[in-house]
C-alpha cells in the first residue's frame, strides 16, 4: 500500500505541472477541441483525486492493506481514541490534509456555483428592465448600447442571448445569424457548466499551474466548439467577418463608402493568413484557426487521446482501492 501512495503522488505532480503545460502548448487541440476538452476534464479530475488519494493512502498506511480496510481501522481509532499509539503525527497530518483538501474543493465548487448564480440572476433582473425582446429571435433580447456586444446568460429555461443595437447596426443579417448560432451553441452544449467547474478549480488552487492553464484552455476551446457549430449554419467568411468586426470593436473607417451590404465589404477570409501577423491573443488565434482550417485529427490520434483521458480516470481509483491487485 505504501508504493501506491508514491505512485499517486507522482501522478498528482505530473498532472499538476508537466501534463497541463504540454497540453496547453499542443497544437492539435485546435483540430479536435472536443477531445481536448475531455482530456482537460480528466486531467483536472484525476489530478484532484490523486492529490487527495496520495495523502490519504500514505496517512492510513499503518492501518491496513488497502483503503477500505484502512478506513475502517481509522474509524475504529477515532471511536476508541487510541490514535496516538498506532498512527504517527505525520500520518495524522496527512489524513487531515486529505480531508481538508477534499472539503476545500467541494466548498469552493459550491461557493462558486452560488456566486455565479447570484450574479446571473442580478444581471437577468437588470436585463428585464433595460432590454427589449428581439422581434425576430426567440430567447434573445436587444439592449440599447453603442458598443457591439453579444453574449449569452445561461440559466436553464431562462437562458437568454443579449445583443446590443450597436452590434445590430454594425453587422449584416447573415453575420448576426453567425453570432446567434455561436451563442446558442454555448447554451445547447452547456458550456457554462464547464466554465463553472474550471473557475472553481482555479479559485480553489490558484497557485497551481494546472488550474490556471486549464481555465484558459477551456475558455478557448468552448469558443472553438461554438465556432464549429456556427459553421454548420453560416459560411466561414461570414463568421470570420463577424468576429473581426465585433473584435475590433468599432465601425471600420471605410464602411460608409462601402455601404451596408456584406458583399461590398472586403472579404476578410480572402486575406492570406500566413502573411498576417496576428497577435497571440485568443481572438486572433480563433480567427487564424478559421482562416486556415486544419484537418481534424486522424481516428488513431483521436482514439489515443480519448484512451489517455479514460486511463487517467481509471488509474487513481484503482491505486486507491485495490493496490494488492497490482502488487
Partner 1 sequence: MATLGDLERTVMDLLWATTDSTTANELRDAIAEVPAPETGRELAVTTVLTVLSRLEKKGLVERERNIRPHRYRAVTSREDHTAELMHEVLVTAPDRDAVLARFIGSVSEAEAQTLRTLLGGS
Name the residues that contact partner 1, by CB under 8 A.
112, 116, 119-120, 123, 125-130, 143-145, 147, 149-154, 162, 164, 179, 182-183, 186, 191-192, 195-196, 198-199, 202-203, 215, 219, 222-223, 241-249, 252, 254, 265-268, 270-271, 275-279, 281-284, 287
Minimum CB distance to partner 1, residue 183 (Å):
6
The CB density around residue 104, as the number of other CB atoms within 10 Å, is 13
**Cell 477541441 maps to which residue?**
33
Minimum CB distance to partner 1, residue 100 (Å):
23
Q: Of 102, 101, 90, nearest to 60 (Cα)? A: 90
Minimum CB distance to partner 1, residue 286 (Å):
9
Q: Record the cell numbers describing residue 65, joined without a space.
A: 492493506
Cβ–Cβ < 8 Å for 132, 142: yes
Angle of helix 33-60 relative to helix 191-204, nearest 10 degrees, comes to 40
CB-nearer residue toward partner 1: 49 or 180: 180
CB-nearer residue toward partner 1: 95 or 245: 245
CB-nearer residue toward partner 1: 66 or 203: 203
- Which residues touch 57 (CB under 8 Å, ≥6 apart)? 1, 4, 5, 8, 67, 70, 319, 320, 323
CB-nearer residue toward partner 1: 105 or 127: 127
Minimum CB distance to partner 1, residue 103 (Å):
21
CB-nearer residue toward partner 1: 18 or 247: 247
Minimum CB distance to partner 1, residue 128 (Å):
5
| DSSP codes, 87-125 | S-HHHHHHHHHHHHHHHHHHHHHHHHHHHHHHHHHHHHH
Amino acid at each position: 500500500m505504501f508504493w501506491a501512495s508514491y505512485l499517486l503522488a507522482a501522478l498528482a505532480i505530473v498532472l499538476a505541472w508537466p501534463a497541463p503545460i504540454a497540453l496547453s502548448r499542443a497544437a492539435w487541440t485546435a483540430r479536435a477541441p472536443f477531445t481536448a476538452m475531455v482530456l482537460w476534464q480528466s486531467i483536472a479530475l484525476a489530478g484532484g483525486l490523486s492529490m487527495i488519494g496520495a495523502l490519504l493512502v500514505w496517512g492510513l498506511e499503518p492501518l491496513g492493506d488497502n483503503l477500505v480496510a484502512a478506513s475502517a481501522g481509522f474509524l475504529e481509532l477515532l471511536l476508541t481514541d487510541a490514535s496516538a499509539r498506532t498512527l504517527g503525527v505525520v500520518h495524522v497530518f496527512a489524513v487531515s490534509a486529505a480531508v481538508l483538501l477534499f472539503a476545500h474543493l467541494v466548498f469552493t465548487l459550491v461557493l462558486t456555483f452560488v456566486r455565479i448564480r447570484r450574479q446571473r440572476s442580478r444581471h437577468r433582473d437588470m436585463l428585464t428592465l433595460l432590454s427589449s425582446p428581439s422581434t425576430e429571435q426567440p430567447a434573445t433580447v436587444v439592449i440599447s448600447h453603442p458598443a457591439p456586444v453579444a453574449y449569452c446568460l445561461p440559466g436553464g429555461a431562462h437562458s437568454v442571448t443579449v445583443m446590443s443595437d450597436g452590434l445590430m447596426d454594425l453587422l449584416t443579417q447573415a453575420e448576426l445569424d453567425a453570432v446567434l448560432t455561436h451563442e446558442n451553441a454555448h447554451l445547447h452544449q452547456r458550456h457554462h457548466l464547464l466554465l463553472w467547474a474550471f473557475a472553481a478549480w482555479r479559485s480553489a488552487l490558484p497557485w497551481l499551474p494546472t488550474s490556471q492553464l486549464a481555465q484558459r484552455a477551456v475558455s478557448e476551446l468552448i469558443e472553438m466548439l461554438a465556432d464549429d457549430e456556427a459553421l454548420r449554419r453560416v459560411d466561414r467568411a461570414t463568421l470570420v467577418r463577424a468576429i473581426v468586426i465585433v473584435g475590433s470593436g468599432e465601425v471600420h473607417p471605410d464602411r460608409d463608402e462601402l455601404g451596408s451590404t456584406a458583399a461590398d465589404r472586403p472579404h476578410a477570409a480572402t486575406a492570406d493568413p500566413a502573411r498576417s501577423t496576428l497577435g497571440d491573443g485568443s481572438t486572433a488565434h480563433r480567427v487564424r484557426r478559421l482562416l486556415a482550417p486544419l484537418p481534424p485529427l486522424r481516428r488513431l490520434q483521436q482514439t489515443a487521446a480519448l484512451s489517455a483521458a479514460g486511463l487517467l480516470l481509471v488509474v487513481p481509483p484503482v491505486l486507491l482501492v485495490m493496490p494488492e491487485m497490482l502488487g
